[in-house]
């Protein structure tokens, strides 16, 4: 059964199509080794840069939770609350390139058949910064990384020429991708920001620059809520906060929408889906819309930091799905990838009810909730 989980994505063979995304689960050698022991097909290493990184004080990741009683979304622990999303304002890895290079080498030596993608980030707009992208590329590929993920997507960098500010500018997307491709011997993926008008524009620019795959989503720009008692943001430093990034279940539907925009625009290209995945049912939506691999962050952080139960559920879910659909001749992800991509249409192309079935604005009961007795009698 394990062999049927294998996929080839941008020319790289994965034992299974599930990766830990670039984030705290992949910020150390120890975590990555544990992740491979747990069964992940690949990891995207926490983004590596050349510039100094100093994070704000305090916890790096917080979790929004909500309850059925009041639908209030809060980071405060409350009985009966369920996960809504993660929130963070962490920067990229605060470990320098020299720290990462021997570790990537050791990780690949320990797990040669597992995939290590190195996420990298530098600035843009000057030749010096483009050279920094190339320095990073050469270093991680010489260390044995199987691929590169260009981070054009972190929503809260402390420099204007970095992260999602590149991902919002199609010119920069093209130029930086081209600079990386100029020196890379391994596949180059670009991770795009969802904070843009039309992600297809930036995806097209990256493909023009030579990218081998698009990755989406990074976290969505967002704020913690203001506590109604103290009137302070639930996370703040000296009373101040900046927008950070939201991940987890809350972003899944939005991330799926971006995925299908891209897979419809470029049906023959490669895509890696991220956002709100914790078991196979969510990963399946990404596959059915055309993604070839799926990445996970929030769910893994909440599961012993590297997601041993999450990867077990993902693999078991894929096995069971293939088993259930064996009569259709499906033996791998490739057999059902993209099967629902063309079911997403413009609203104007969706059939309207005809004849007596349509009551327009004259429905006996208006609104979205189930009708109650009082309203029915009125
Ligand atoms: C604390 C934290 C740090 C992150 N750091 C990075 C990063 O360095 N580079 C990157 O590309 N994405 C980073 N991400 C984004 C995740 O890789 C992922 O795209 C996002 O969390 C959505 O996936 P999820 O819904 O599974 O959490 C970070 C996310 C979190 C929560």
372 within some domain:
no
Per-residue pLDDT for 359 more than 90?
no
**Whose CA is closest to 40, among 275, 261, 314?**
314
Distances 30 to 46, 64, 92, 118 between C-alpha atoms, Å: 13, 28, 18, 16
Q: Can you tell me the mean pLDDT for 184-193?
A: 98
pLDDT for the residue 73: 94
Q: Can you tell me the mean pLDDT for 208-226?
A: 97
- 3-class DSSP state for residue 77? coil
pTM flag (> 0.85): yes
What tens digit of pLDDT does each residue of 343-352 get?
999 999 999 8
Q: Can you tell me the mean pLDDT for 8-17?
A: 98
Percent of the chain scoring above 90 in pLDDT: 87
Contact, 45 vs 121, CB < 8 A? no
Q: How many domains does the chain have?
A: 1
pLDDT for the residue 157: 83
205 within some domain:
yes
What mean pLDDT is reported for the chain? 94
> Ligand 1 pocket, 297 CB below 6 A?
yes
Q: Can you tell me the mean pLDDT for 203-207?
A: 98
Per-residue pLDDT for 184 more than 80?
yes
157 within some domain:
yes
Torsions phi, psi of 215, nearest 5? Answer: -125, 130
112 within some domain:
yes
365 beta partners: none
Residue 185 contacts by C-beta under 8 Å, 6 or more apart in sequence? 141
Domain hosting residue 126, numbered range:
2-349
What tens digit of pLDDT does each residue of 48-105 get?
999 989 998 876 899 999 998 889 999 998 999 999 999 999 999 999 999 999 999 9
User: If you measure from the C-alpha of residue 344 to the centroid of ligand 1, how many angstroms do you get, rounded to a whole number?
Assistant: 27
Name the helix (H) or strand (E) containing 65: strand 61-66
Separation CA 37–CA 27 (nearest Å): 16
pLDDT for the residue 365: 57
Residue closest via CA to ligand 1's atom 12 equals: 22
Residue closest via CA to ligand 1's atom 15 equals: 218
Q: Can you tell me the mean pLDDT for 158-180?
A: 94
pLDDT for the residue 134: 98
Separation CA 361–CA 347 (nearest Å): 19
Which region, left, alpha or beta, applies to residue 136 given φ > 0 means left and ψ of -120 to 50 means alpha? alpha
340 beta partners: none
354 within some domain:
no
Per-residue pLDDT for 291 more than 60?
yes
55 within some domain:
yes
CATH number of the structural domain spanning residue 43: 3.20.20.70
**Whose CA is closest to 16, among 28, 29, 25, 4?**
4
Distances 178 to 125, 130, 162, 181 between C-alpha atoms, Å: 13, 10, 16, 5
> Ligand 1 pocket, 194 CB below 6 A?
no
What tens digit of pLDDT does each residue of 241-280 get?
999 999 999 999 999 999 999 999 999 999 999 999 999 9
Contact, 220 vs 195, CB < 8 A? yes
Cis ω for the linkage preceding 217 (within 30 of 0): yes
249 within some domain:
yes
Per-residue pLDDT for 374 more than 80?
no
Dihedral sign from CA coordinates of 261, 262, 265, 269:
negative
Q: Which residue among 18, 20, 22, 153 has the greatest number of ligand 1 atoms within 8 angstroms of its CB, and so is best to mutate?
A: 22
Q: What is the 3-state secondary structure (H, E, C) of 187-239?
A: CEEEEECCCCCCHHHHHHHHHHCCCCEEEECCCEEECCCECCCCCCECCCECC
Residue 40 contacts by C-beta under 8 Å, 6 or more apart in sequence? 16, 18, 19, 20, 114, 306, 307, 311
Q: Can you tell me the mean pLDDT for 216-240?
A: 96
Between 23 and 363, whose confidence is greater? Answer: 23
The two structure tokens encoding residue 364? 């006996």
378 within some domain:
no
> Ligand 1 pocket, 21 CB below 6 A?
yes
Atom of ligand 1 nearest to the CA of 300: 26
Residue closest via CA to ligand 1's atom 21 equals: 247
Per-residue pLDDT for 181 more than 60?
yes
What tens digit of pLDDT does each residue of 152-168 get?
999 888 888 999 999 99
Contact, 290 vs 265, CB < 8 A? no
> Ligand 1 pocket, 61 CB below 6 A?
yes
What tens digit of pLDDT does each residue of 295-344 get?
999 999 999 999 999 999 999 999 999 999 999 999 999 999 999 999 99
Distances 71 to 81, 219, 372 between C-alpha atoms, Å: 9, 22, 21
Which region, left, alpha or beta, applies to residue 222 given φ > 0 means left and ψ of -120 to 50 means alpha? beta
pLDDT for the residue 375: 46
């Amino acid at each position: 059964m394990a062999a049927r989980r294998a996929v080839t994505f941008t020319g790289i063979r994965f034992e299974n199509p599930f990766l830990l995304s670039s984030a705290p689960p992949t910020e150390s050698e120890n975590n990555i080794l544990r992740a491979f022991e747990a069964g992940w097909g690949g990891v995207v290493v926490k983004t590596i840069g050349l510039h100094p990184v100093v994070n704000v004080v305090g916890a790096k990741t917080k979790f929004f939770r909500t309850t059925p009683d009041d639908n209030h979304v809060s980071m405060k622990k409350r009985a009966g609350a369920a996960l809504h999303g993660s929130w963070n304002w962490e920067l990229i890895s605060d470990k320098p390139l020299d720290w990462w290079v021997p570790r990537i080498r050791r990780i690949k030596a320990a797990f040669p058949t597992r995939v290590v993608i190195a996420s990298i980030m530098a600035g843009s707009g000057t030749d010096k910064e483009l050279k920094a992208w190339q320095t990073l590329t050469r270093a991680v590929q010489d260390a044995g990384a199987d691929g590169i993920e260009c981070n054009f997507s972190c929503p809260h960098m402390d420099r204007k020429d970095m992260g999602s500010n590149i991902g919002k500018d199609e010119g920069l997307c093209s130029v930086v991708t081209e600079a990386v491709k100029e020196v890379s011997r391994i596949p180059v993926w670009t991770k795009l920001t969802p904070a843009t008008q039309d992600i297809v524009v930036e995806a097209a620019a990256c493909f023009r620059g030579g990218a081998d795959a698009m990755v989406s989503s990074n976290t969505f720009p967002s704020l913690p809520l203001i506590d109604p008692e103290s009137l302070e943001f639930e996370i703040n430093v000296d009373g101040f906060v900046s927008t950070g990034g939201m991940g987890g279940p809350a972003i899944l539907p939005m991330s799926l929408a971006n995925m299908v925009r891209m897979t419809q625009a470029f049906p023959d290209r490669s895509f890696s889906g991220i956002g709100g995945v914790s078991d196979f049912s969510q990963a399946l939506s990404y596959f059915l819309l055309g993604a070839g691999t799926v990445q996970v962050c929030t769910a893994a952080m909440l599961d012993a930091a590297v997601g041993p139960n999450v990867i077990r559920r993902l693999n078991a879910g894929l096995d069971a799905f293939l088993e259930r659909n064996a009569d259709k001749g499906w033996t791998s992800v490739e057999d059902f990838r993209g099967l629902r991509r063309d079911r997403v249409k413009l609203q104007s192309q969706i059939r309207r009810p005809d004849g007596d079935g349509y009551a327009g604005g004259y429905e006996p009961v208006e609104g979205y909730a189930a009708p109650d007795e009082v309203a029915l009698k009125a």
